[in-house]
Amino acid sequence: MSKGESMKNYSFLCEHVCRNTCSSLTKALQLETSIVRLAEEAIQQCDDEDIKYFLTELAQHSSEATLKILQKLNEVQARSQILDGITSSFEPRPPRSTKP
């Protein structure tokens, strides 16, 4: 499967206008969260200990990935706020009135 084909399967297209968030990271967060939920549901229904163990590990890895994605999203938001602050410091302000 080529790179273009895999993107079509997820119906995802990067917007390239990240502001306080990143659409790619947000989509990855949704997918990882879905994997955790699926694994947890399967663990509850499964009778095979080997499969339960495997699904538990899968859920754990996806949970770790979720935390990493959330951390990166927080970094993106913080960077955006810093840049907004820098930009606003260069915007002209109306002159202060000297009248008492």
Tens-place pLDDT, residues 14-35: 776 666 678 888 889 999 999 9
Query: The tokens of 79 are what?
Result: 């960077």
| Tens of pLDDT, residues 55-89 | 999 999 999 999 999 999 988 888 877 776 777 77
What sign results for the dihedral spanned by CA atoms 48, 62, 60, 2? positive
CA 46 to each of CA 31, 32, 54, 55, 57: distance values in angstroms, whole numbers, following the listed order: 22, 21, 11, 10, 14
pLDDT at 5: 47
Does 91 or 79 have the greater pLDDT score? 79
